Amino acid sequence: DADVTQTPRNRITKTGKRIMLECSQTKGHDRMYWYRQDPGLGLRLIYYSFDVKDINKGEISDGYSVSRQAQAKFSLSLESAIPNQTALYFCATSDLSGRPNTGELFFGEGSRLTVL
Amino acid sequence: GNSVTQMEGPVTLSEEAFLTINCTYTATGYPSLFWYVQYPGEGLQLLLKATKADDKGSNKGFEATYRKETTSFHLEKGSVQVSDSAVYFCAFSGSARQLTFGSGTQLTVLP
């Protein structure tokens, strides 16, 4: 089983619908992240959480919200989806405690979202 | 602000050719530098890293040296294989304790 699991893996929805992407991890890491990947733009950070009570906006948080339900679960919501939110979304975890600049990110397999 | 600039792709090489993918960064302080690889249909995974100037990261035949004077971290491999076909991302970890990624370089290796 994957250490970082994302559901759903693929989703097609319509403009204006509410969508939730879920992420769960078995690595025991405190830190979790949501990125989106667009061709030619690389990965851009949407939100990140360093523990259950700590939620931070990334560079492109507008139109998104998150919930950290437990140490192992971090969900991303699109309250009213729009076509330019069509992208590949990745959840990632890390354990950077004690050495903030040397940690590695562990990624899920991605959730491909298409908004029509 | 902080940013990463990496060589645009796509890059197409024949098997056993030499590979270089350029990466330069703009950051304050002394970031750690990373190369991640994304194989088709998968998430990103760490390929190699370097945490201080002049460090060389290496893995699976790939190497990259942290050059502070040129703010670069170019990825190299002496002889690529078809199985190296993937998207490669340069990234750095700065004071905000997050990773900033480059735009990715698609590599295709032909037999």
Q: Please, which residues bridge with residue A115 across strands?
A: A13
Across A71-94, average pLDDT: 96
Q: Which of A10, A43, A61 to mutate to test the interface with B (most CBs of B within 10 A)?
A: A43
- Amino acid A116: pLDDT: 96
Note every long-range contact of A81-87, with CB atoms under 8 Å and residues 24 or more positions apart, other chains counting: A81/A13, A81/A14, A81/A15, A81/A16, A81/A17, A81/A18, A81/A19, A81/A113, A81/A115, A82/A15, A82/A115, A83/A15, A83/A115, A83/A116, A84/A115, A85/A113, A85/A115, A86/A113, A86/A114, A86/A115, A87/A36, A87/A37, A87/A38, A87/A113
Mean predicted confidence (pLDDT) in A65-94? 96
Q: How large is the average pLDDT for residues A13-21?
A: 97
Per-residue pLDDT of chain B (111 residues; tens, 9 = 90+): 778 899 888 999 999 999 999 999 988 777 889 999 999 988 999 999 998 899 999 999 999 999 999 999 999 999 999 999 999 999 988 655 678 899 999 999 999
Q: Looking at beta carbons, which residues of chain A come within 8 Å of B104?
A: 40, 42-43
pLDDT of residue A103: 67
Query: Which residues of chain B make contact with A92, given a CB cutoff of 8 A?
Result: 43-44
**Chain B residues within an 8 Å CB radius of A89:** none
Question: A103 touching B, CB under 8 A?
Answer: yes
Beta strand B11-14 with B105-110: parallel, antiparallel or unpaired?
Answer: parallel
Give per-residue pLDDT as tens, B96-110. 567 889 999 999 999
**Cα dist. A12→A39, B3, B80 in Å?**
18, 32, 37
